[in-house]
Structure 1
Amino acid sequence: MTDTVTDPPLDSDRRRTPGRRGRSWGTLGCGVALALPAVLLVVRLTGLDARTPFAMPIVLFPYSAVLGVLVLGLMTAVPTLRSRWAITVVAALVIAHVVLLAPRFVPAGRSVPEESVELRVATLNTNGGKADPHALVKLIRTERIDVLAVEQMPSAGVDALDDAGLGALMPYRELHPEYDSSIYSRHPLFEGGTTHVDTAWAQTTAEVSVDGHRVRFVAVHTYYPLGDTRRWARDMAALASMARRSEPDTVFLGDFNASLDHAPMRDLLAAGLTDVHGELGRGWGRTWPVGHAFVPPLIQLDHVLHGSGLAGVSVSELNVPGTDHRAVVAELALLPAKGRAN
């Protein structure tokens, strides 16, 4: 019988094995973290969210860009995670996100002639009339709102707003609580009623006359993708069809249940409308949810969109107690004929 002598492991082997293991786990972790940005990028590029369950996670697209930047920074800073090919792939993923997101953060820089008539408009989903009526009336007074669109406002909510004094500020109204949306105005309204397009429920519409200008308003509240993505997509397609037939002096405002990363919203904008937030370089104006102690507003579902006869001057999001949506307040300028886009 002979003894077998085994050489002890070298110190370099001891050091190398844990390092390789740590690198493997680190690379795996980065890969898992990048799964969401990669999937959402594919959905965003292909428009797969239109009638599929991807309509919900695509609202996280801006957050996936932030996640990609963090992972890229980590891979660059930690020696054990550095890999030229991996960093190249992640950098390409981040760049693709930035290219898609950047336009909404760059102001259009459109000049507004001094002689332009201006309108201040607002929209609020009242959460079934739970919005504090006195707070909403105070907002209308403080922000000098000319036209207000409300969604999810039942008849009881209409009465509560009148009791709070809205009638004195906005004596003209096109009320359709049975169809989920209504329009209030400081200025006379004309040709009011509801739309006749293929939406889950009719949208309220009316024209406002200001200094000889007629502006058509459509108070929007679409079906929600969480309930039925196909029904929601049909609502958005119906609005796009309506937008293509609209005059330049048209404003669509309300709760679209859609962000700027949804394909149906991009189709609506391509039909001839401009999102005020994106126009002014504020393309991440988060409006939902609010009213939760530990959850800040995460996504933008509420928008003010306008035709080529108008231009955005300012936009902001304001809280109204009682509802889970922020109000969107926008100032719009009615452009003279020579200042309008072709």
Structure 2
Amino acid sequence: MAEPVVGVDGAPPGRRTPGPRGRRLLRAAATVVGVSAVFACAAGVFAHYSGFVSSTASRVAAFTPVLVIVGVVGFVVLLLARRWIVAGIAALVVVAGVVTQAPLYVGASSAADSDLVVMQANIYLGQADIVSLASTVRAEDVDLLTIVELTEGALNRIEVSDLAVALPYSFTHALPDGRGVGIFSKYPLVDGRVLDGFRLGNVRAETDLPGHGRTAVYALHPLPPWPEAAWRWDLEMSRLSDILAAEALPTIVGADMNSTWDHRPFRRMLAGYGPDTSPDLLDAAEVVGAGFVPTYPADKAIPPLLTIDHVLTRGGLQPTSMHTVTLVGSDHRGVVATVR
């Protein structure tokens, strides 16, 4: 049998292994990639905790879950490059990143048929398909629906759709340019009012829930931290925190908060600034351990990356499950939560 033909370096012809110089270059390139990825993760962790009020910091914080995954990839690359010391530092950064996200994965879903169903929907300047929205409301057996970016045109379509049959009671504040907002309910709504002093629409109403009694319902839509000035977003989040902390009734909130778990103003809102007897707000995604459930942008070729739509409760109302749903014609996914 003929001997196999090999090159001068012992490899088959045409399949030369990198020489010492090539291996050094590959290792250097892997190091640069790994360190860059871990640096991105570190930036996300820093933005999560720092609370800096700037458009740049808020952008970085919004992508912290993605940046943590990038950091994990960077750590693996550094291990493959045998950069042991740098990989050790990278491991610490990645662990810090995982810690920022861990609360979202600790919890359990325990929905029951008797639970209240709450849905939050951003209908994208009133352009979402109302017929499809009504079908989702029916399929999910929604009891309370909060809508943001409610225009007069969208409200007119809602009033002649099955949605108005499924949820016959409403308090709305329809406006152009994405500023409108509304609450739709199976149960009568009373004492509806617009929250003054906000650039976008924010409203509150009350309803009597079977077996629970009088409850405050909010539909909220604070300004985003970009392209608006970040200080305006921070100010509106602080004002909404004060309003919710002062609320005397058990509370349900459906909101496009323009904020994620990784924005410190949002976590401050959950903790509350009210009197000591005022319980914290509960974020459905956190309570049920839903993890990373992004809702925006939902109209791109890539999946959504930002979790800015939320259902919150307080005062004896406990979220028991949470998932997202498609909103045809919108740039957001909807959020559906069950509440006990």
* TM, length-normalised to structure 2: 0.86
Q: Which residue of 2 aligns with 1:232?
A: 233
Give CA-to-partner distance per residue, 1:44-65, whole Å, 9 cap, x none.
22122x3442111221111111
Q: Which residue of 2 aligns with 1:328?
A: 335
Q: Which residue of 2 aligns with 1:149?
A: 146
Structure 1: 5+ residue stretches without partners: 1-13, 334-342
Aligned residues: 311
Q: SS of the residue aligned with 2:115?
A: strand
Q: Is the 8 A contact 1:51 1:233 kept in 2?
A: no
Q: Which residue of 2 aligns with 1:64?
A: 67
Q: Is the 8 A contact 1:218 1:252 kept in 2?
A: yes
Describe how 1:177-256 pairs up with structure 2 within 5 A: 177-178=174-175, 180-196=180-196, 198-211=197-210, 213-228=213-228, 229-247=230-248, 249-256=250-257
Q: Which residue of 2 aligns with 1:135?
A: 132
Superposition misfits of 4+ residues, deviation over 3 angstroms: 14-22
Give CA-to-partner distance per residue, 1:19-47, whole Å, 9 cap, x none.
33432232222222222112222222212
Q: Which residue of 2 aligns with 1:32?
A: 36
Q: Which residue of 1 aligns with 2:104?
A: 104
Whole-angstrom CA distance in 1 between matches of 2:24 and 2:303: 40
* 1:269 Cα deviation after fit: 0.8
Q: SS of the residue aligned with 2:190?
A: strand
Whole-angstrom CA distance in 1 between matches of 2:265 and 2:319: 22
Whole-angstrom CA distance in 1 between matches of 2:157 and 2:269: 34
Whole-angstrom CA distance in 1 between matches of 2:19 and 2:121: 61
* Residue in structure 2 matching 1:284, options 286, 292, 298: 292
Whole-angstrom CA distance in 2 between matches of 1:174 and 1:330: 21
* 1:16 Cα deviation after fit: 4.2
Q: SS of the residue aligned with 2:63?
A: helix
Whole-angstrom CA distance in 2 between matches of 1:74 and 1:180: 48
Letter in 1 for 2:161: A
Q: Is the 8 A contact 1:199 1:238 kept in 2?
A: no
Q: What percentage of residue pairs aligned between the two structures are identical?
A: 26
* 1:152 Cα deviation after fit: 0.5
* 1:159 Cα deviation after fit: 0.7
Q: Is the 8 A contact 1:247 1:307 kept in 2?
A: no
Give CA-to-partner distance per residue, 1:243-291, whole Å, 9 cap, x none.
2112361012121111110111111111121110111111311111113
Whole-angstrom CA distance in 2 between matches of 1:297 and 1:286: 5
Q: Is the 8 A contact 2:191 2:206 kept in 1?
A: yes
Whole-angstrom CA distance in 2 between matches of 1:152 and 1:83: 50
The verdict on how the C-alpha distance between 1:248 and 1:208 changes in structure 2, with shifts beyond 3 A counting, is: closer
Q: Which residue of 2 aligns with 1:6?
A: none
Letter in 2 for 1:142: A
* 1:93 Cα deviation after fit: 0.5
* TM, length-normalised to structure 1: 0.85
* 1:224 Cα deviation after fit: 1.5
Q: Is the 8 A contact 1:277 1:315 kept in 2?
A: yes
Letter in 2 for 1:278: E
Whole-angstrom CA distance in 2 between matches of 1:121 and 1:231: 29
Q: SS of the residue aligned with 2:76?
A: helix
* 1:17 Cα deviation after fit: 4.0
Whole-angstrom CA distance in 2 between matches of 1:232 and 1:238: 10
Whole-angstrom CA distance in 2 between matches of 1:307 and 1:248: 9
Structure 2: 5+ residue stretches without partners: 1-17, 273-279
CA RMSD of the aligned region, Å?
2.1
* Residue in structure 2 matching 1:126, options 106, 123, 126: 123
Q: Is the 8 A contact 2:40 2:67 kept in 1?
A: yes
Q: SS of the residue aligned with 2:268?
A: helix
Q: Which residue of 2 aligns with 1:42?
A: 46
1:305 aligns with 2:312: yes
* Residue in structure 2 matching 1:316, options 318, 323, 327: 323
Whole-angstrom CA distance in 2 between matches of 1:210 and 1:41: 40
* 1:70 Cα deviation after fit: 1.3
